């Protein structure tokens, strides 16, 4: 596993992502030296959701159709209610997430983004957290839900909400630096 300053990290999102849950990891992981790419369904800029209304647009670096698991050392899935709901109906997104999880590399989901882990069938027998309103979905997918700012189980990192972003990003950095494949095998 590369050090964070030589790693490539994908943020997979579409319109309706929680503004801070994309922008904070993008900024902070970049400050650690990672090459961070926003990947989406189309090359058009994607627009965030900021509390009660549409937020700012973010440029898309690459299309999901043009990337492979081998291209990235970690994937970050921002939440918001709209973003993961739009992504989880896209089979190419769900297939990519499933394949990325099998690689053993860090896969991190915050807020409502664990819906993508549910859709990909990745939570059976795992410990996880999420925004409280999707707790039942996470539990029904077979996870043991914890009310913690971040939960790490194997190569999966989950977090509850924007207030947990510092711990969430710290967990991604730690896992990239220390090798997720080792944790996933444990």
Residues with a catalytic annotation lie at: 112
SS3 at position 150: strand
- Whether the Cβ atoms of residue 14 and residue 87 lie closer than 8 Å to each other: yes
Question: In the beta sheet, which residues pair with residue 38?
Answer: 11
HEC sequence for 79-99: CCCHHHHHHCCCHHHHHHHHH
Distance CA 136, CA 15 (A): 25
The helix (run of H) or strand (run of E) holding residue 151 is: strand 150-153
């Amino acid at each position: 596993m590369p050090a964070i300053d030589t790693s490539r990290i994908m943020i997979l999102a579409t319109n309706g992502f929680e503004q801070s849950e994309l922008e904070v990891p993008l900024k902070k992981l970049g400050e650690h030296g990672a090459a961070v790419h926003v990947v989406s369904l189309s090359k058009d800029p994607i627009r965030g959701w900021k509390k009660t209304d549409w937020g700012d647009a973010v440029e898309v670096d690459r299309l999901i159709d043009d990337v492979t698991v081998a291209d990235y050392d970690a994937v970050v899935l921002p939440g918001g209610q709209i973003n993961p709901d739009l992504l989880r109906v896209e089979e190419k997104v769900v297939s990519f997430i499933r394949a990325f999880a099998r690689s053993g590399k860090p896969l991190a989901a915050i807020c409502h983004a664990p819906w993508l882990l549910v859709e990909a069938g990745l939570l059976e027998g795992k410990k996880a957290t999420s925004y409280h309103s999707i707790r039942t979905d996470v539990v029904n997918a077979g996870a043991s839900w914890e009310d913690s700012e971040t939960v790490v189980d194997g190569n999966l990192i989950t977090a509850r909400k924007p207030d947990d972003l510092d711990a969430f990003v710290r967990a991604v950095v730690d896992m990239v630096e220390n090798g997720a494949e080792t944790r996933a095998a444990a």
